[in-house]
Amino acid sequence: MTDPEPILTALCDLVQEDVGCRGLRADPVDNLINATAGDFAAACHSIADTPKARLAVVTGFTIPGTDPPAAETDGPLGALFLARALTPLGIGVALAADGTAVPALAAGLAACGLTSQVPLVELPDAGGAYDGTIRERSQSVQPDYLMRFSGEVGSFTHLLALERVGPTHTRESIGFAGRSEAWDEFPREVPEAMRGRCLSMRGRDVTALTIVAGVSNWGAYALATGVRLLRGAAAEADLYDVNRERELLRLMVDAGPLVDGVTGERTLTVDGLTFERYGRVLRRLGELAVGDAS
């Protein structure tokens, strides 16, 4: 295999396009991209280099204004991709979610023939269930859901929060770019958290590595691609089949239901992007993966 680092850099650069105009590079120096430089490659290496790696993915971002409240399409689709891409490599993947993300993920796993291989744990959606940080909860008596999660998925080497809300210091559940106070604190937390193997795509709990992406699903696609590259896995064109990805999204939207996190509509869109625009990144990731294998 040729030197993988330029490919990892290209994967990361591709998914960090600020399509949502969230200001990821608003300040040319003090921004999330610079604050997390090197985290993407480190995350890929950490999973790929760990013997008997097991990845637990927590996802599901509920949009409360919809009727009924429903999880958004960004997150569950990327979680399913990680399962599809990494399970064949012998990397264990377990999924955890709450709300309508659970039936959506169940439908996706069934469509991919992964139901028996990838545990799916339902987390509570009651108010207050996630008060405090992961560290604070782990130091106290573990809630039932953590005990159940550990019991059902077994021990895991990596924990990934994928488009998963977390409490801010104001105790409001948001993603990292949801409010200015979270934006102000997030870059300063990153350098203090370079320990352990907790990965994050948007979140408030202290993490070891943070993958910043214009769309969280894109970050999941790139992470899986990077791990497969480092493991020397053959390029699988089916993983990057945009039509297949669109069909999986359709199944999950119907089963959840899932909604677009920007529009709140039950459509085959992600973060307000048409699927044609959204799928362009997946297609390009596939070209990079296949190009490295050739």
Q: What is the pLDDT of residues 95-129, one digit of tens each?
A: 999 999 999 999 999 999 999 999 998 887 655 55
Between 18 and 52, whose confidence is greater? 52
What confidence tens digit (pLDDT) does each residue in 245-272 have? Answer: 999 999 999 999 999 999 999 999 999 9
Asked if residue 96 lies in contact with residue 160, where contact means CB atoms within 8 angstroms, the answer is no
Q: Residue 89: which pLDDT band, with cuts at 50, 70 and 90?
A: very high
CA–CA dist 16, 33 (Å, integer): 8
pTM for the full predicted model: 0.82
Contacts of 127 (CB under 8 A, 6+ apart): none
Nearest to 36 by CA among 153, 166, 132, 176: 176
In three-state secondary structure terms, 68 is: coil
Between 46 and 173, whose confidence is greater? 46
Nearest to 91 by CA among 117, 60, 113: 117
Q: What's the number of domains the chain is made of?
A: 1
Asked if residue 107 lies in contact with residue 97, where contact means CB atoms within 8 angstroms, the answer is no
In three-state secondary structure terms, 97 is: strand
What confidence tens digit (pLDDT) does each residue in 26-54 have? Answer: 777 777 888 888 999 999 999 999 999 99
Dihedral pair phi/psi, residue 120, rounded to 5°: -125, 115
What confidence tens digit (pLDDT) does each residue in 194-207 have? Answer: 223 445 444 344 45
Domain carrying residue 119: 5-293
Q: Each residue of 112-145: b (16+ CB within 10 Å) or e?
A: bebeeebbbbbbebeeeebeeebeebeeeeeeeb
Residues in the chain: 294
Q: CA 77, 78, 82: angle at the middle one, nearest 5?
A: 120
Burial of 166 (0-12, 13-18, 19+ CB in 10 A): buried
Domain with residue 94: its CATH number is 3.90.1640.20
Q: Residue 154: which pLDDT band, with cuts at 50, 70 and 90?
A: low
The pLDDT value recorded for residue 148 is 53
The HSE-up count of residue 10 (CA atoms within 13 Å, CB side) is 15
Nearest to 55 by CA among 150, 159, 148: 159
Residue 133 vs residues 26, 145, 189: alpha-carbon distances, Å: 28, 15, 13
Contacts of 2 (CB under 8 A, 6+ apart): 292
